[in-house]
Structure 1
């Protein structure tokens, strides 16, 4: 290619694709917002950049350390890169997308949840509750449904969420 050894071309592509991958990681949210590109799972920028990074790295290493023909090196590098990108897609990116979606909750999702009082709820005021979720614990201000005092450590059920404040009642596991 243009008089340069293939080893140099692979190295040049590796540097460029590695740099673009790093920049994409840093700026992906901004770029996704500006460009508004439709999201196709197999043709995402991170997978394309990963393919070129792995392809050029393998090509460089094979050219430098083996005596295989360049055509075989190109095909072998492309195969390894394709396998690496598919593994990355199925075992990293897909689980990350589903984890990202499961961390989000709305106030309506909290209604009916059990919580523990961490700051006593006075009869006519506000206390605080702690809601244990799979993604972590969430603390919310709370008021009593029946205007009764609720002590610290009491298990409560969230009846209603309104403007970030939980209306709670004492939880009685034996009463349905």
Structure 2
């Protein structure tokens, strides 16, 4: 069975050791709706506050084992998650600037991973152009073309790194 693409988000969260909360539960429900059905995935789908992170870390470890999900390869985690985010933006499911900010934060969290440096630059170019008429992060970008430059770059990224 093919993974739900939002699973790449959970894999990134697991790699970054982020706290388990209702977002994880929502992703578990998505997976169940397309046919994944394991004991621990059902348990994850039903988590409620207050969250005990020690128990939930063990639970997510079991879910990852049951579903044979690997989160140990940073390059794969980065590529798959950024590709997922790029598709979400191009399908109008996520805001462009917020997503660029998220990838900019990933760039830092992943120890300044050079493969996503351009997203960092695009974020600051777009952010600067929200407040000023010039920016120094992306050659040739201005208020009239920054959105198209960003979308073209997202398409280029997807074509180069298609999840599959």
Instruction: Say which structure is richer in strand.
Output: 1
User: TM-score, normalising length from structure 2?
Assistant: 0.26
Instruction: Say which structure is richer in helix.
Output: 2
User: TM-score, normalising length from structure 1?
Assistant: 0.24
Higher relative contact order (CA 8 A, sep 6+): 2
* Larger Rg, first or second structure (1 or 2): 1
